[in-house]
Chains A and B, each alone.
Chain A
């Protein structure tokens, strides 16, 4: 006889199915390459010489830290973290919607919010190592101290959590979600957020940059928020995005 499926079980089943679908050699290689480039840039910036005679050792250390924070926030939080999260999160349910396999999740007697959470967790599981490892490696190679490494790690995790939720929702809202997501990353996170601290508050990059800024003490135009706020707001946004995704899945017409 059939029984009801607990939400925990639904999350576990969805997670198991989708993680197998998400991991492909092509995706892993392409995104590892982007991560490798980020780490390489960290190494190059970390090796930059500051031999000007008027600079004191403290000046050189501060310049090195400023350069390192700029490299991490510009390259890591504008490109690597959102793009990796986009590729996996948008595909988690978006691909099933487009290829028709969503019917095997949707038609079962399972709670929709649990399906969404399972998809989100699958996306996070694949995205975290592909972002946190190269970001931490980059911070380490920048040779600008432990605070940068810790701040980068925390901000990367927070960024993946929030972006993944937003892009799971995007995958259920639009077709060709990768294109829409790239548009969002370039226009919103890249351009709009660069207009200063007020604009950065409506972009995830403002929060991830604030975590690094707060941790290292380096002032950034777009990173002016307190660390608690910079961590909590993206998590709240993630929760709201997942709630919207569950509502969307509930009302979706499945082909």
Chain B
């Protein structure tokens, strides 16, 4: 339903998306990546809001930038928090339905507002809404034309846990109904709940693609760097190397170790300290943030 072939997008000297290719069919596909990775730029190109510098983007076999009809089959919830602030929620969504040429725009708006659990009777302008409510207005607007392809840029941001759960359930229902959903996130746990298909984008490049669980294993199996606070780091490091618990060590103010078997290291580090009679006061990963994971995935490609 969506295909991206060797797509590059540059703004002057800055390359936001670099030679990315993938195809996506019905169901949910999560686009995972840190902030600034190029997810929103990729989404903008999918919707036709921007054209690629190189490569080709097709949605339902067409180019959304030039094809008016296909734009009517796309629903977009953009990341930016911009709405026509003087309109009420029902006015905003009804107008979106009118813009799509819906036969009964108000009825369509009431339907989707009910889905996202916003009151159609609320006369307040959306400019006075909380972030979570505004996010739900955007989702309602994206859904109002019953699109075949839904592009949702960080749609869960600002939602409370109950709303998050509700929206994830909704996305899964839409995916099961044969819609193509592309959902971006920079939160790994969120992606885990969105489904099994994942595209990882980092530094503008496609770092990994496939099943979420395989990706998770890959992330867990990567070399880890861990800081160890001990009384006698030199002797302790020698003991760790001798027992094969680490791949390398670095001795500075603290002991930093590299290991590709984090489970074995975790099980072995305390017994070694006890055996040597060395006081172990702390063990903490120093590259466990998502950025490091993405960097690793990019570097291994």
Contact of B141 among A21, A99, A104, A106 (CB under 8 A): A104
A contact residues around B69 at 8 Å (CB): 109
Asked whether B99 lies within 8 Å of A13 as measured between CB atoms, the reply is yes
Residue in contact with A101 in the complex, picked from B48, B84, B100, B102, CB distance below 8 Å: B84
Determine whether the beta carbon of A20 is less than 8 Å from that of B49: no
Is A29's beta carbon under 8 Å from chain B?
no
Our pick among A2, A10, A20, A103 for the contact of B102 (Cβ within 8 Å) is: A2
A104 to B140, CA, bound (A): 13
Given the complex of chains A and B, what is the CA–CA distance between A1 and B102 in angstroms?
A: 6
Given contacts A2-B145, A107-B76, contact A20 B86 (CB under 8 A): yes
Number of A-B pairs, beta carbon distance below 8 Å:
82
Cβ of B87: which chain A residues have Cβ within 8 Å of it?
A: 17, 20
Please report the total number of B residues contacting A with Cβ < 8 Å.
33
B-side contacts of A108, CB under 8 Å: 71-72, 96, 99-100
Instruction: Find out whether the CB atom of B99 lies under 8 angstroms from the CB atom of A110.
Output: yes
The answer to whether A5 and B78 touch across the interface, beta carbons within 8 angstroms, is: no
Whether the Cβ atoms of B100 and A2 lie closer than 8 Å is yes
A254 touches B50 (CB 8 A): yes
Taking chain B's interface residues, is the majority helix, strand, or loop, or is none over half, making it mixed?
loop
Q: Which residue of B lies closest to A108 (CB)?
A: B99
Least CB distance, B9 to chain A, in whole angstroms: 10
- Whether the pair A13, B49 counts as a contact (CB closer than 8 A) is no
Given A17-B84, A103-B49: A2 in contact with B95 (beta carbons within 8 A):
no
Number of interface residues of A (CB under 8 A): 27
Tell whether A183 is near chain B: CB-to-CB under 8 Å: no
Residue numbers in B under 8 Å from A111 (CB-CB): 68
Question: Which chain A residues in 69-122 approach chain B with CB under 8 Å?
Answer: 99-101, 103-111
Which B55-98 residues have C-beta < 8 A from chain A? 68-69, 71-74, 76, 78, 80-87, 95-96, 98
CA A4 to CA B100, docked complex, whole Å? 7
Given contacts A101-B82, A254-B44, contact A109 B95 (CB under 8 A): no
Is A50 located at the chain interface by the 8 A CB criterion?
A: no
B103: chain A residues at CB < 8 Å are 1, 3
CB distance from A168 to the nearest CB of B (A): 18
- Taken together as a complex, chains A and B put the C-alpha atoms of A59 and B84 apart, in Å, by 57
Q: Does B259 contact A (CB under 8 A)?
A: no
Decide if B268 is an interface residue (CB 8 Å cutoff).
Answer: no
A64 to B102 alpha-carbon distance, docked (Å): 60
Q: Is B101 an interface residue (CB 8 A)?
A: yes
B167 at the interface (CB under 8 A from A): no
- Residues of chain A within 8 A of B145, CB atoms compared: 2
B185 within 8 A of A: no
Q: Are A109 and B72 in contact (CB under 8 A)?
A: yes
Q: Tell whether A49 is near chain B: CB-to-CB under 8 Å.
A: no
Contact assessment for A13 and B84 in the assembled complex, using a CB-CB cutoff below 8 Å: no
Residues of the B chain whose Cβ atoms lie less than 8 Å from the Cβ of A5 = 98-101
CA distance A2 to B71 in the complex (A): 11
Q: Enumerate chain A residues within 8 angstroms of B85, measured Cβ to Cβ.
A: 21
Q: Which of B86, B96, B99 has the most CB of A within 10 A?
A: B99
A21-B86, A253-B51 as given contacts; A13 in contact with B95, CB under 8 Å: yes
Residues of A within 8 A of B78 (CB): 100, 103
Instruction: Say yes or no: is B293 at the interface (Cβ < 8 Å to chain A).
Output: no
Closest CB pairs A-B (n = 7): A100-B82, A109-B72, A108-B99, A3-B101, A254-B49, A100-B80, A5-B101
24 A-B residue pairs with CB within 8 Å = A1-B103, A2-B72, A2-B101, A2-B145, A9-B98, A10-B99, A16-B95, A17-B95, A20-B84, A20-B86, A21-B85, A100-B81, A100-B82, A101-B83, A103-B78, A104-B83, A106-B49, A107-B47, A107-B76, A108-B100, A109-B69, A109-B99, A109-B100, A255-B80
